[in-house]
A and B are shown apart, each in its own frame.
Chain A
Amino acid sequence: MYESPIRRPLITGETSYAKITEDIAQTVEGKPTKWWYLGFIVSVAALGLWFLTVGYLLFTGVGVWGLNKTVDWGWDITNFVWWVGIGHAGTLISAILLLFRQKWRTAVNRSAEAMTIFAVICAGSYPLLHAGRPWVIYWVFPLPNTYGSLWANFNSPLLWDVFAISTYLTVSVVFWYVGLIPDLATIRDRATGLRRKIYGFFSFGWNGSAKAWQRFESVSLILAGLATPLVLSVHTIVSMDFATSVIPGWHTTIFPPYFVAGAVFSGFAMVLTLLIIMRKAMRLEQYITINHIDVMNKIILVTGSIVGSAYITEFFIAWYSAVPYERYAFINRAFGPYWWAYWAMMTCNVITPQLFWSQKLRRNITAVFIISIFVNIGMWFERFVIIVTSLHRDYLPSSWAMYSPSWVEIGMFIGSQGLFFTLFFLFAKFVPVIAIAEVKSVAKSSASQYIKKTADQEGVDLKELNPQVVVPQLIDQYE
């Protein structure tokens, strides 16, 4: 397939189908690096803290959190929304970019979608524990019961959330696994003994036949078509948990698009944080190139700007509404006792992503890594600001209160990071972290080696192409 040579290559250096298989399979077949062991041990330690704090919580009750009568949503719901938001980038990469036929998706979709699944698991743990008695959590589902039956209330956004999050998790797992089957078969066919048996079991007898691939493509396309509105619906419904209430600062129609943009924004930041470490630790720089990081930074810039405009719009509308409570909620956010959280959010989410207008910074790995961490922190503060500053000074000044987390909440937050990273490290060890078959399918059109060959055949001199398009780094990549 002919592709214009001015497109930046997605695979750099020498490549062939066999080499792609070899390079990606080595992450599963080889011994993990020292960095993997180190990271895994730290994650498991944090996971231990999660079990400890959650155990203490379950034996004692949610009173061990710092919540009070006025601020009854704190770090638990902040973390829930933060984690769900992070999940959104994975589905965006695997579904929306598939519909838009973006080839750079192929190198990052597997790990981004794994991130989605693990982030949604972490997210789900919060409402589960917030409910107080997780052993009766099945009460949220519309099941017959001894009260008559008194069914679940389908008018409640909290119930919509139950359906949205569980559907999202299920469909993400299914989508991820469908794409994984051919690659597990690749590992199976290279292995012997026990590994062959295990990967054989999980690859379901995949044989790579033309008929199977035809169905595979059809299923992938429809799953992408389903996951696209699904991912938009999930954070929309999460935002409705807030927007359908009558709390000042929550009761706004801007919430659904604002939450979805914020979710994609934070998700891409997390994808970058993870991939920058992973490409190095697993020696995958040839496949997850600086060009991939560059395009993801552009998405961060776009969604970050949407989020920034939403903050300003929100403030303006609060003033324009002339509702005293609404106005006060926003003045209190920016200049009240939680001013530091508000300005941390503004700095990290509005100013930091604007740095990505500079191509130099977009292509500087260290800068990208630091900015991605800032965005992660900023988006956490966004949820904290929305939840806590709106609640802590409600309509009745006599019940105004302050909130700060107890050690249990802090431990659970660090612990949920442990849960996330433990799952991610296990994924990186046992599953091909790049979609092998998909990368092969774009190799001909997007590997620098083949682009150069095509250009030579066509008599195009890569160096003489429009200099505005071809930056010096690009020429280096063809050399």
Chain B
Amino acid sequence: MSKHYIIGVFGDEEPLLEAVKEVRASGTRIHEVYTPFPVHGLDELLGYKRSRLPKAAFLFGCLGFTLAITMQTWMLGIDWPMNIGGKPALAWPDFVPVSFELTVLITALGMVGTYLVACDFIPGNEAKMPDLRVTSDKFCMAIERDGTNAAAVTALLNKLGAEEVHEKELEL
């Protein structure tokens, strides 16, 4: 759904970080900030909670490990035990490599899948971004126009060193 946004375009990370601090201090809600590369400390300034992806990764890891151990135990120990020179059918040390590999595989696939779905990054999706230059050299701040004093916000962004400030109707 399209909405009206005030877009502030910055040329570098330092003025952007300063602006994020000031705009939030002035009580204006920032919809989202777009940058060409990961800017350290930006998520904290925006008040974002830490990502829960590490927890998801841990759970996928547990799943992978359980699957691997269950599979090997069931196949070699229960479904078709083999007598190889009288050695035990369930030789746990031999299960270490495959269990490790499957744990890594399922953690990686599960976590990356979660990441893509959480960000709504699906092959062929349209990018929801305020300005095409944010993947090159510009840093953009998007603020919803409705419910804010548009003139005051524009003035503030200009004062904080925005190179351009404009209003756009788009879906973010």
Chain A residues within 8 Å of B, Cβ to Cβ:
16-18, 21, 142, 148-155, 157, 159-160, 163-164, 167, 170-171, 174-175, 178, 181-182, 185-186, 188-190, 200-219, 222-223, 226, 229-230, 233, 237, 240, 437-438, 440-441, 444
Q: Please tell me which stretch of B38-46, B150-158, B159-167 contacts chain A, meaning at least 4 of its Cβ atoms lie within 8 angstroms of it.
A: B38-46
Partner of A200, one of B37, B38, B127: B127
Partner of B112, one of A174, A182, A190, A230: A174
A18 touches B37 (CB 8 A): no
B94 touches A154 (CB 8 A): yes
List B contacts of A181 (CB < 8 A). 121
User: Could you tell me the distance between the alpha carbons of A296 and B146 in the complex, rounded to whole angstroms?
Assistant: 54
A205-B120, A209-B129, A218-B51 given; name 19 further pairs at CB < 8 Å: A21-B36, A163-B97, A164-B101, A167-B101, A170-B109, A174-B108, A175-B108, A182-B135, A189-B132, A204-B122, A208-B36, A210-B42, A213-B42, A217-B38, A218-B54, A223-B108, A233-B97, A240-B97, A437-B36
A151 touches B136 (CB 8 A): no
B75 touches A154 (CB 8 A): yes
Q: A154-B72, A167-B105, A440-B36 are in contact. Are A219 and B115 (CB under 8 A)?
A: yes
B75 touches A163 (CB 8 A): no
Partner of B104, one of A202, A226, A441: A226
B62 interface hit (Cβ, 8 Å): no
A203 touches B127 (CB 8 A): yes
B112 touches A155 (CB 8 A): no
B24 interface hit (Cβ, 8 Å): no
How far is the CB of B69 from the nearest CB of chain A, in Å? 11
List A contacts of B125 (CB < 8 A). 204-205
List B contacts of A186 (CB < 8 A). 36, 135-136
B27 interface hit (Cβ, 8 Å): no
- Residues of B in contact (CB 8 Å), total 60
List B contacts of A218 (CB < 8 A). 51, 53-54, 115
B121 touches A205 (CB 8 A): yes
28 contacts between A and B (CB under 8 A): A21-B137, A142-B71, A149-B80, A151-B76, A155-B91, A157-B97, A159-B98, A160-B97, A160-B101, A163-B98, A164-B101, A167-B102, A167-B104, A170-B108, A171-B105, A174-B109, A185-B127, A189-B134, A204-B123, A208-B134, A215-B118, A219-B53, A219-B111, A219-B112, A222-B111, A229-B100, A233-B100, A240-B97
B38 touches A150 (CB 8 A): no
List A contacts of B133 (CB < 8 A). 189
A201 touches B53 (CB 8 A): no
User: Could you tell me the distance between the alpha carbons of A461 and B104 in the complex, rounded to whole angstroms?
Assistant: 49
User: Could you tell me the distance between the alpha carbons of A97 and B123 in the complex, rounded to whole angstroms?
Assistant: 29
Q: A164-B97, A229-B104 are in contact. Are A211 and B137 (CB under 8 A)?
A: no
User: Could you tell me the distance between the alpha carbons of A288 and B138 in the complex, rounded to whole angstroms?
Assistant: 24
Q: A151-B80, A154-B76, A164-B97 are in contact. Are A205 and B122 (CB under 8 A)?
A: yes
List A contacts of B76 (CB < 8 A). 151, 153-155
User: Could you tell me the distance between the alpha carbons of A224 and B33 in the complex, rounded to whole angstroms?
Assistant: 26
Partner of A440, one of B37, B97, B124: B37
List B contacts of A182 (CB < 8 A). 37, 135
How far is the CB of B65 from the nearest CB of chain A, in Å? 13
B112 touches A223 (CB 8 A): yes
B18 interface hit (Cβ, 8 Å): no
How far is the CB of A453 from the nearest CB of chain B, in Å? 13
List A contacts of B46 (CB < 8 A). 210
A154 touches B98 (CB 8 A): yes
Q: Among A160, A175, A207, A208, which residue has the most Cβ atoms of chain B within 10 A?
A: A208
B109 touches A185 (CB 8 A): no
- Tell me the nearest residue of chain A to B12, going by C-beta: A17
User: Could you tell me the distance between the alpha carbons of A206 and B97 in the complex, rounded to whole angstroms?
Assistant: 36
- Tell me the nearest residue of chain B to A438, going by C-beta: B37
User: Could you tell me the distance between the alpha carbons of A438 and B37 in the complex, rounded to whole angstroms?
Assistant: 7
User: Could you tell me the distance between the alpha carbons of A219 and B57 in the complex, rounded to whole angstroms?
Assistant: 9
List B contacts of A214 (CB < 8 A). 38, 43, 48, 51
Partner of B98, one of A160, A240, A437, A444: A160
**What 8 A-B pairs are tightest by C-beta distance, nearest first?**
A205-B125, A17-B137, A204-B121, A151-B75, A160-B97, A207-B129, A18-B137, A189-B132
List A contacts of B84 (CB < 8 A). 155
List A contacts of B42 (CB < 8 A). 210, 213
How far is the CB of B78 from the nearest CB of chain A, in Å? 11
User: Could you tell me the distance between the alpha carbons of A404 and B100 in the complex, rounded to whole angstroms?
Assistant: 38
